[in-house]
Structure 1
Amino acid sequence: MTLRYQSGFGNEFASEAVEGALPIGRNSPQRVAHGLYAELLSGTAFTAPRAENRRTWLYRRQPSVVTGAFAPCAQPWLKTGAKDGVAAPPDPLRWHPLPVPENEPLDFVDGLRTVVVNGDADAQTGIAVHLVLANRSMTRRAFVNADGEMLVVAQQGRLVITTELGVLEVSPGEVALLPRGMAFKVAVDGPTRAYVCENYGAPFRLPELGPIGSNGLANARDFLAPVAAFESEAGDYEIVKKYGGALWGARQDHTPFNVVAWHGNLVPLKYDTARFNTIGSISFDHPDPSIFTVLTSPSDTPGTANCDFVIFPPRWLVAEDTFRPPWYHRNVMSEFMGLVHGQYDAKPEGFKPGGMSLHNCMVPHGPDTEAFAKATGAELAPQKLDDTLAFMFESRWRFHPTAWAMEGGAIDAAYAECWAGLADGFKP
Structure 2
Amino acid sequence: MSELKYQAGFGNQHSSEAVPGALPLGRNSPQRVPLGLYAELLSGAAFTAPRVENLRSWLYRRQPSVVVGGYQPLDHAFLKTGAAQAQLSPPDPLRWAPTAIPEQPTDFVQGLRTLVVNGDPDAHTGMAAHLYLANRSMERSAFINADGELLIVPQQGSLRLTTELGRLDVRPGEICVVPRGMAFKVAVDGPSRGYVCENYGAALRLPELGPIGSNGLANARDFLAPVACFEAEPGAYEIIKKFGGQLWRAAQAHSPFNVVAWHGNLTPYKYDTANFMTIGSISFDHPDPSIFTVLTSPSDTPGWANVDFVIFPPRWMVAEDSFRPPWYHRNVMSEFMGLVLGQYDAKPEGFKPGGASLHNAFVPHGPDAEAFAKASSAELKPHKLDNTLAFMFETRWRLQPTAFALQGGSLEANYAACWQGLNDSFPA
TM-score (norm 1): 0.99
Partner amino acid for 1:116? V
Instruction: Name the residue aligned to 1:20.
Output: 21
> Which position in structure 1 is the counterpart of 2:71?
70
Aligned to 2:202: 202
* TM-score relative to the length of structure 2: 0.99
Distance, in Å, in 1 between the alignment partners of 2:313 and 2:427 is 37
2:143 is matched with: 143
1:26: Cα distance to partner? 1.1
Secondary structure at 1:56 match in 2: strand
Instruction: Within 5 Å, give how 1:169-248 maps onto structure 2.
Output: 169-248=169-248
SS at match of 1:51: helix
C-alpha distance in 1 between matches for 2:266 and 2:425: 55
Tell me the amino acid that sits aligned with residue 214 of structure 1. Answer: S
Does residue 249 of structure 1 match 2:249?
yes
Quote the Cα distance in structure 2 between the aligned partners of 1:308 and 1:268.
18
How many Å separate the matches in 2 of 1:199 and 1:415?
28
Shift of 1:2: 1.4
- CA distances 1:197-221 after superposition (whole Å, capped 9, x unpaired): 0000000000000000000000000
Let me know the Cα RMSD of the aligned residues.
0.5
CA distance in 1, matches of 2:305, 2:146: 22
Equivalent residue number for residue 373 of structure 2: 373
Structure 1 residue aligned with 2:102 = 101
**Partner Cα separation in structure 1 for residue 388 and residue 370 of structure 2:** 18
Instruction: Report the equivalent of 2:411.
Output: 411
Shift of 1:105: 1.3
CA apart distance, 1:376: 0.3
Aligned to 1:85: 86
Distance in 2 (CA, whole Å) between partners of 1:426 and 1:381 is: 28
Amino acid at match of 2:248: W
Alpha-carbon distance in 2 for matches of 1:326, 1:350: 16
Amino acid at match of 1:54: L
Map of 2:293 onto structure 1: 293
d(CA) in 1 for partners of 2:285, 2:26: 54
Superimposed CA distance per residue, residues 3-52 of structure 1 (whole angstroms, 9 cap, x where no aligned partner): 00000001000000000000111100000000000000000000000000
**Aligned mates of 1:410, 1:291 — CA distance in 2:** 31
Instruction: Note if 1:323 corresponds to 2:323.
Output: yes
The structural deviation recorded for 1:101 is 1.1
The amino acid across from 2:129 in the alignment is V
User: What corresponds to 1:39 in structure 2?
Assistant: 40
The yes-or-no answer on 1:59 pairing with 2:60 is yes
Q: Distance in 1 between the 2:376 and 2:181 partners?
A: 50
Q: Tell me which amino acid in the other structure corresponds to 2:222.
A: D
Amino acid at match of 2:295: L
Q: Residues 125-149 of structure 1: CA distance to partner in whole angstroms, max 9, x if unpaired?
A: 0000000000100000000000000
1:395 match: 395
Unpaired runs of at least 5, structure 1: none
Q: CA offsets per residue over residues 207-261 of structure 1, 9 Å max, x none?
A: 0000000000000000000000000000000000000000000000000000000
Aligned to 1:363: 363
Matched residues in 2 for 1:376 and 1:403: separation? 39
Partner secondary structure for residue 370 of structure 1: helix
SS at match of 2:274: helix
Secondary structure in 1 matching 2:308: strand
Q: Which amino acid aligns with 1:4?
A: K
SS in 2 for 1:405: helix
Using the alignment, how far apart are the partners of 2:389 and 2:330 within structure 1?
23
Distance 1:78 1:410 in 2: 17
Give unmatched runs, 5+ long, in structure 2: none
* Counterparts of 1:179 and 1:24, CA distance in 2: 25
CA–CA separation in structure 2 for the residues paired with 1:230 and 1:75: 29
Superposed displacement of residue 181, structure 1: 0.2
Show the counterpart of 1:354.
354
| Residues in 1 aligned to 2:257 and 2:427: alpha-carbon distance in whole angstroms | 69
SS of 2:290's equivalent in the other structure is helix
Q: How far did 1:151 drift?
A: 0.1
How many residue pairs get matched?
427
Q: Any idea what the Cα deviations from partners look like across 1:86-134, whole Å, max 9, x if unmatched?
A: 01110000000011011x2110000000000000010000000000000
**Equivalent residue letter for 2:391:** F
- State the distance in 2 between where 1:145 and 1:215 align: 34
Output the amino acid matched with 1:101: P
Distance in 1 (alpha carbons) for counterparts of 2:76 and 2:102: 16
The one-letter amino acid paired with 1:147 is D
How far apart, CA to CA, are the structure 2 residues paired with 1:382 and 1:105? 48
